[in-house]
Amino acid sequence: MATEPRHAFFETDEKLELNVFIKDPKPDQVNIVFEARKLSFQYGEQLLVLDPLRGEIDVEKSGWRVGKVKIELWLVKKVAARWGGLVGEAAVSVGTAAVQSRPTAAESSRPKKNWDILATEALEKEKDKTQSEDPNAGGDTAVNSLFQQIYADADEDTKRAMLKSYTESGGTSLSTDWKEVSKGKVEGKLPSGTEKRPL
């Protein structure tokens, strides 16, 4: 019986990147079909079908590659806009590049902050900051690179947990447990004699 593989995504206005986590995948066993509003992924007994996608993609420019622990797919959007999710009916306005959709009952009960979009923006800012830092600075850059790698390989809930805990605690707490973090605001814990610095 087919099972859905573990996956996570992040997006920019122009592109959505989807990571499907499979250990030591063999390229000849990967079967991926891109359609304008549909994506089908199969690897052995693992099946992921995204239909309908939240927006239309450029099939010719989209693609995929096989890594050691995941298969990376990139979906190039026909209209530059944030989708905020993978599937669902959405109307994308070309003029404003805004995504409008009717939320499901489950989506309506969720917090209003979109942690996926915030996570993507935070990661992009961190990359820009790391690239502009002095390469001889040492420690901070190495630590940032380590956390970026952990974040990039994490699943969707772990990414949300990391971003929410770090942001709400003012950079003094970092958690990967979304079940715990989603219960409420993450309070900062400072060592004695230190001050909280603004992010």
Q: How confident is the model at residue 190, as a pLDDT? A: 61
**Has residue 61 got a pLDDT over 50?**
yes
Measured CA distances, 20 to 74, 163, 193 (Å): 11, 21, 44
Q: How confident is the model at residue 98, as a pLDDT? A: 39
Return the domain boundaries, the chain: 7-83, 115-181
pLDDT bracket for residue 132 (50, 70, 90) = low
pLDDT tens for residues 1-33?
789 999 999 999 999 999 999 999 999 999 999
Q: How confident is the model at residue 198, as a pLDDT? A: 54
Rounded to the nearest integer, the mean pLDDT of the chain is: 77
C-alpha to C-alpha distance for 129 and 133, rounded to whole angstroms:
6
**Has residue 169 got a pLDDT over 60?**
yes
**Has residue 42 got a pLDDT over 80?**
yes
pTM, two decimals, is: 0.48
Phi first, then psi, for residue 47 (nearest 5°) are -135, 130
Give the pLDDT mean for 131-141: 53
pLDDT bracket for residue 110 (50, 70, 90) = very low
Q: How confident is the model at residue 87, as a pLDDT? A: 93
**Is there a contact between 186 and 173 (Cβ–Cβ < 8 Å)?**
yes
pLDDT tens for residues 67-104?
999 999 999 999 999 999 999 876 444 433 434 444 44
pLDDT bracket for residue 152 (50, 70, 90) = confident
Fold of the 7-83 domain: Immunoglobulin-like (2.60.40)
